Amino acid sequence: MTDRIRVGVIGTGAMGTSHARMLARWVPGAQVVSVHDFDAGSAQRVAAELDAEPAGTAAELIEAVDAVVIAAPDPTHEELALACIAADRPVLCEKPLALDAEGAARVVAAEASQGRALVQVGFMRRYDPAFVALRQGVLGGQVGRPLVVHCVHRNAAAHPSATSDGIVSNSMIHELDCIPWLLGDAIAAITVTSPRVEGIRDPQVALLETVRGALVTVEVFVNAGYGYDVRCEVVGAAGTLRLTPPYGLAARAHGGDQVQVAADFVARFADAYRIELASWVDGLRRGEVDGPTAHDGYRAAVVAACGVESLHTGARVQVPQL
Ligand SMILES: NC(=O)c1ccc[n+]([C@@H]2O[C@H](COP(=O)([O-])OP(=O)(O)OC[C@H]3O[C@@H](n4cnc5c(N)ncnc54)[C@H](O)[C@@H]3O)[C@@H](O)[C@H]2O)c1
């Protein structure tokens, strides 16, 4: 593939529309040629905006394009990723790779039997300039051995499909992928709890223990109300490194001093998505998939399954090392 990659996007909700626009406007090596959504009107609107064709079914779309972005809801990911692999189409699948670890393992196995890497998972924090700088500082030894990490992950309002288990397997999965990448270390055990015992168990707090002995706190609060807020601080033996609020605007007015908070993930991680998509397309033009792999998606799903077990039982759950 050396010409422009002809991409199809499945799911034209918040994430799919953002990906389709980013690809069409910011990734010169790509052309969005087809979009599909369960809601035909939504697909038609995005297709008209981007000069693409709406596809009647996902299968039609997969057949008509060089590569696929899956941004439909979580329960569709495994089946759509397997269909892309069967058709030998590279696919950028939004997280999570599947609803559970068994589903993610089936995707890994299908890709292996196809004989070439086709799957990238949408763990976009690995492309966020601030997270990349944080990782370089940590792995470069700037603050010595990492001892403690504090992560905060808040949404203004939950997606209508949010569930207690989904807070781990859909939201916290970002941290479950990011922490091993950030520290160059694996997660050895997880404990998840919530101050709410009835209804949706939100917020949740997890304690992750790494193989090398670092302790990581993760607060995920999907109904935080005030905005989308992702924070991370690494406490090392010789100092700390923390993300500062990016894309901020400070206002002093009406007797107050305020820093604006991003409304949602599209605003906060705009650069990350852009770089993720550009790097995915560059890789495809070289005939490679060089981002987070299906195996990374599987590894995160295994930790998430342990986290869900802990949320239900209250127990500290040991994570199998893959
Ligand atoms: N990486 C990230 O930062 C990030 C952020 C948000 C969402 N996501 C992921 O992206 C996916 C979509 O999330 P969203 O926030 O855009 O949700 P959304 O509800 O805004 O959009 C989902 C879209 O998929 C469509 N859809 C439903 N079933 C379908 C099917 N079977 N085939 C085709 N289309 C179908 C819906 O009509 C809707 O337009 C989820 O898996 C979510 O976990 C990732």
Confidence label for 222 from pLDDT (cuts 50, 70 and 90): very high
Does 14 sit in the ligand 1 pocket, CB within 6 Å? Answer: yes
Domain end, chosen from 74, 105, 122, is at 122
pLDDT, position 225? 96
Residue 117 shares a structural domain with residue 175: no
Return mean pLDDT, the chain: 96
Residue 114 shares a structural domain with residue 140: no
Does 38 sit in the ligand 1 pocket, CB within 6 Å? Answer: yes
pLDDT, position 259? 87
Which residue has better confidence, 244 or 7? 7
Q: What's the mean pLDDT in 77-100?
A: 98
How far is the centre of ligand 1, averaged over its atoms, from the C-alpha of 6 (Å)?
21
61 falls within a domain: yes
Contact 100, 74 (CB under 8 A): no
Does 71 sit in the ligand 1 pocket, CB within 6 Å? Answer: yes
How far is the centre of ligand 1, averaged over its atoms, from the C-alpha of 4 (Å)?
25
> How far is 190 from 23, CA to CA, in rounded Å?
37
Backbone angles phi, psi at 282, to 5 degrees: -60, -45
Confidence label for 72 from pLDDT (cuts 50, 70 and 90): very high
pLDDT at 2 > cutoff 70: no
Measuring CA to CA, how many Å separate 134 from each of 12, 127, 193, 244, 262? Answer: 32, 12, 27, 10, 20
Residue 265 shares a structural domain with residue 140: yes
pLDDT at 245 > cutoff 80: no
> How far is 81 from 213, CA to CA, in rounded Å?
35
Residue 132 shares a structural domain with residue 266: yes
pLDDT at 194 > cutoff 70: yes
Residue whose Cα lies nearest atom 20 of ligand 1: it is: 13
pLDDT at 49 > cutoff 50: yes
Residue 280, both tokens: 């995915």
pLDDT at 248 > cutoff 80: no
Residue 258 shares a structural domain with residue 130: yes
Residue 30 shares a structural domain with residue 163: no
Residue 246 shares a structural domain with residue 229: yes
Contact 273, 69 (CB under 8 A): no
- CATH number of the domain where residue 117 is located: 3.40.50.720
Quick check: helix, strand or coil at residue 223?
Answer: coil
283 falls within a domain: no
**Which residues have a Cβ under 8 Å from the Cβ of 226 and sit 6 or more positions away?**
154, 156, 261
Residue 70 shares a structural domain with residue 133: no
Confidence label for 1 from pLDDT (cuts 50, 70 and 90): very low
Residue 113 shares a structural domain with residue 39: yes
- CATH number of the domain where residue 144 is located: 3.30.360.10
Ligand 1 atom with the smallest distance to the CA of 36 is 33
Look at the pTM and tell me if it is higher than 0.95: yes
Beta-strand relationship, 229-236 and 5-10:
unpaired
Residue 232 shares a structural domain with residue 171: yes
Q: What's the mean pLDDT in 236-240?
A: 98
> How far is 97 from 137, CA to CA, in rounded Å?
29
Ligand 1 atom with the smallest distance to the CA of 17 is 16
**What is the residue-wise DSSP string for 63-77?**
HH-SEEEE-S-GGGH
pLDDT, position 3? 83
201: Cα separation from own chain's centroid? 21
Measuring CA to CA, how many Å separate 104 from each of 73, 97, 162, 189, 292? Answer: 15, 6, 20, 20, 13
pLDDT, position 151? 98
Residue whose Cα lies nearest atom 17 of ligand 1: it is: 13
Q: What's the mean pLDDT in 130-144?
A: 98
Quick check: helix, strand or coil at residue 292?
Answer: coil
Per the structure, the complete domain to which residue 213 belongs is given by 125-270+302-318
Contact 7, 31 (CB under 8 A): yes
Ligand 1 atom with the smallest distance to the CA of 123 is 1
Q: What is the CA radius of gyration of the chain?
A: 20
> How far is 122 from 176, CA to CA, in rounded Å?
13
Does 246 sit in the ligand 1 pocket, CB within 6 Å? Answer: no
290 falls within a domain: no
Instruction: For ligand 1, pick from 15, 78, 275 the residue to mutate: most ligand atoms within 8 Å of CB.
Output: 15
> How far is 62 from 91, CA to CA, in rounded Å?
10
How far is the centre of ligand 1, averaged over its atoms, from the C-alpha of 321 (Å)?
30
How far is the centre of ligand 1, averaged over its atoms, from the C-alpha of 179 (Å)?
24
